[in-house]
Structure 1
Amino acid sequence: MFLTDGELSEIKAFRRELHRNPEVSGEEAETASRVTEELGRTRPDRIVAGIGGHGLAAVYEGVASGPTIMIRAELDGLPIEEISDVAHRSTVPGKGHLCGHDGHMAILMALAKGLGHERPAKGRVILMFQPAEENGAGAAAVLADPKFATLTQDLSLSLHNFPGIRLGHVLLKEGPVNCASRGMKIILKGKTSHASYPEQGIAPTFVLARLLGDLTALGNNGPLGPDYSLVTVTHARLGEPAFGISPGEAQIWATLRTLTDEAMAALVSRAEELVQTQAKAGQLQVEISYEDVFRQCYNSAEAVKELRRALDDEGVSHDDASSLLPMKASEDFGLFRTVAPAAMFFLGAGEDHPRLHNPDYDFPDELIATGSRVFMRAIRNILG
């Protein structure tokens, strides 16, 4: 390990402080402030704040010119009440770091301390603390921010902890690793009437009922190949909770999921055509909008090659996990591949560890050393 036991203990304490004070997507101001203060002690060449919201990046310049490596972690927690009995459990009602982003930040902080001790021989390293990963808005906001234009990179790397596989074992493969997904919000508008005279209004009742089944039927939920698709209705509402009113409005929320961005475009087209056709037949107006939009996450060959080399050099066990990857869940790191080759590896959090987004989840501190060692080895292999 490139840090002393004392430094590693400090980073574990930093992780636990983040865990006590989670902030959800778009609200990470205090988290960003804590990270900035801690980064300052590592003497980066510069810190770029306010990227895509509350995002920030620490830049460590090498001695000579060369390529740029960006390594990314996430700032946000989840709007879920934590129920664990750990001493550092969340102090914020209804919010928790139940996906491990506090641990991912700690891994980058370990890298910051290491780079503070010794800069790379060439190039530069960017440690990116990204906001709003959980709702899919963060990566897009970062890339759209003019400040990001000063942070061009040649390679982007990331990780995510992965409960269900043994502690410290890594899953890594080239190609698709996370699905594209998006939340489709449908509002159907007709006209209310008295419940005793429903014929005097235009109720969306039957259109809503048909769409619940027809939208779901658009997905095949088959093997995770190029044709995979899934539509999950997550919420539906009809009118108001009253007995005297025949409803005039309805809502459906559905999550669309595919393996590739191309398949997502086709699924969106079919879903919108279906909704418009049904709404027209029911004499309804319709509004369609999208939230939680995630692009597919695809591991580039050149980035995977460097991560495999680092894993081998550090003696970290790994495999391509053909039975587990790609996964149906989404991750907005995939958007960074639009500007540079990128790859994410998945770091085992323990076979019996509580799963991601479970209310009793807590990031295993043992992974801080493993994750940071792999990234630092990749940095030294490429930049010297």
Structure 2
Amino acid sequence: MNEILTLRKHLHQNPELSGFEFQTAKTIAAFLKQYSPDELLENLGNGTGIIAVYHPDKEVKQTIMFRCELDALPIQEINEFDHRSDVDEVSHKCGHDGHMSIMCSLAKKLSEKRMKHTKVVLLFQPAEENGEGAVAIYNDSRFKELNPDQVFALHNLPGYDHHDIVVKNHTFTCAVNSIIVKLQGRTAHAGEPENGENPALAIAEIINQFNPKIQPDPTKEKFTVLTPIYITMGTEDYGISAGYGEIHYTFRRAANAEMKELEIELEEIAVKAAAKYKLQPEISWTQRFSANENDPSAVDFVRKAANDLKFNLIEREVPFQWGEDFGIFTEHFKGAMFGLGSGKETPNLHNPDYDWPDEITETGAQIFYKISEIIDAQ
């Protein structure tokens, strides 16, 4: 594993933000070329996606895909180890450097022993963190030609013991969307606010009417988290009543169908509040993540692989509340995302002191390869 460890630390030291993973993609492509993929597709999606394809020894009966992510986060690392990020305000705080290392280890295994009847596609996907990467890959004609029968991905999970495999049928991660409400009014003298249209009361009404939509218990129907992200209005000029304001929210639910219902409700609230105070609303949406809807039969392959390898298998009862754009793939293909325990004492994802635990890299590669073998033996 020395080669993989060296790669992982290099990736950690040289992180790149979503959509700008140009050097990361070059590093991955150079590594993969050493391990003889039958096809190596580059510049996919937004221009940095990579796919390595390993054909089977015999006739193709099915195609399966495994996915990892290329991008880092706009977070300043506070660790002091030798492989800490060399880039100010950018670091791998979600473990994508480790996910890439797992996939590169899997490429090594496939180069040594291919499947008999299963084509294996390894996707190194850009821009997961902003929700744009999976959509771009899915819409790329070169990806569409591959048309996988099943798709799989994992995510490391602090709070679980190293090597734990965490599975769940149906929703694994929540659907997430974010709304931006811009309210255009009219400035006035601060001593005569009635001569203008100030957005303050409309913003307050939106907050007060959004808040009752929250249902924080994930075991109950219509589980909903609504989080205010950003609010602004007016200027620091005390003689002027504000004439413009914005409010941004992000929200999540456990199912894609329920998410659409909530989107309609929230937009109606914003439009009515704007009308009430004679404001012109402009509503937009950003960073949408579909829920990861796991197919139970695909999850069964993960279960069998974990049991065959004697990893501890944990059945999760409720979805994770974070978003993951792999949901785009599980919307269109049978598949599953599962969790890989990264240590109970490991800092949480997106914390400034998080670092990938290298002892679980081989675990991830082993379980991906075992899933391939189980499907191939059908």
Q: TM-score range by the shorter chain?
A: over 0.9
Q: Deviations over 1:100-144 (max 9, x none)?
A: 000000000001111111221112100001111111111111111
1:39 aligns with 2:39: no
Distance 1:370 1:379 in 2: 14
Match of 1:189 in 2: 184
Displacement of 1:368 after TM fit?
Answer: 0.6
Cα separation, 2, equivalents of 1:301 and 1:313:
18
Q: What is the alpha-carbon distance in structure 1 between the residues aligned to residue 72 and residue 212 of structure 2?
A: 33
Distance in 2 of aligned mates of 1:79 and 1:35:
21
Question: Matches of 1:354 and 1:223 in 2, distance apart?
Answer: 23
Name the aligned partner's letter for residue 170 of structure 1.
I
Q: Deviations over 1:23-77 (max 9, x none)?
A: 1111111111111111111110111112211111100000122211100000111
Match of 1:244 among 239, 256, 263: 239
**With structure 1 as the length reference, what TM-score do the two structures score?**
0.95
Partner SS, residue 184 of structure 1:
strand
Q: 1:345-369 deviations in whole A, cap 9, x for unaligned?
A: 1111111110000000000000111
Match of 1:59 among 53, 62, 80: 53
User: Distance in 1 between the 2:340 and 2:235 partners?
Assistant: 47
TM-score scaled by length of structure 2: 0.97
Q: 2:322 aligns with which of 312, 320, 329?
A: 329
Within 5 A, what are the aligned runs for 1:307-322?
A: 307-322=302-317
Equivalent residue for 2:372?
379
Contact 1:226–1:263 (CA under 8 A) maintained in structure 2? no
SS in 2 for 1:331: coil
The counterpart of 2:106, out of the listed 103, 111, 131, is 111
Q: Does 1:164 align with 2:162?
A: no
Deviation at 1:197, TM superposition (A): 2.9
Question: More deviation in 220-229 or 279-288?
Answer: 220-229
Compared with structure 1, are the counterparts of its residues 156 and 225 closer, same or farther at alpha carbon in structure 2 (3 Å cutoff)? farther
> Which of residues 237, 242, 253 in structure 1 aligns to 2:248?
253
Matches within 5 A, 1:178-327: 178-322=173-317, 325-327=318-320
1:226 CA drift (Å): 4.0
Counting matched residue pairs gives 375
Unmatched runs of 5 consecutive residues or more in structure 2: none
Amino acid at match of 1:13: T
1:88 aligns with 2:89: no
Q: Identical aligned pairs, as a percentage? A: 37
After superposing on structure 2, the runs of 4+ consecutive aligned residues of structure 1 that deviate more than 6 Å are none
Does residue 145 (structure 1) correspond to residue 153 (structure 2)? The answer is no
The letter of the residue matching 2:197 is I
Distance in 2, matches of 1:313 and 1:49, equals 34
Matched, 1:21 2:1: no
Q: What's the Cα RMSD here? A: 1.2
* Counterpart amino acid of residue 124 in structure 1: K
3-state SS, counterpart of residue 216 of structure 1 = helix
Amino acid across the alignment from 1:273 = E
Q: Retained in 2: the 8 A contact 1:225–1:259?
A: no
Any conservation in 2 of the 1:47–1:58 contact (CA below 8 Å)? yes
Kindly provide the CA deviation profile for residues 135-192 of structure 1, in whole angstroms up to 9, marking residues without a partner as x.
1111111111112112210111110000011111111121111110111011000011
- 1:35 aligned counterpart, secondary structure: helix
| CA–CA distance in structure 2, aligned partners of residues 351 and 338 of structure 1 | 31
| Cα deviations by residue, 1:257-280 (Å, 9 ceiling, x for unpaired) | 111111111101110111111100
> Which letter maps to 1:299?
N
Distance 1:222 1:271 in 2: 20
The residue aligned with 1:5 is none
CA contact (8 A) 2:68 2:125 kept: yes
Q: Residue 181 of structure 1: SS of its match in structure 2?
A: strand
Stretches of structure 1 lacking an aligned partner (at least 5 in a row): 1-7
CA deviations on 1:319-362 (whole Å, 9 max, x unpaired) are: 2032xx31111111111113321111111111111000000000
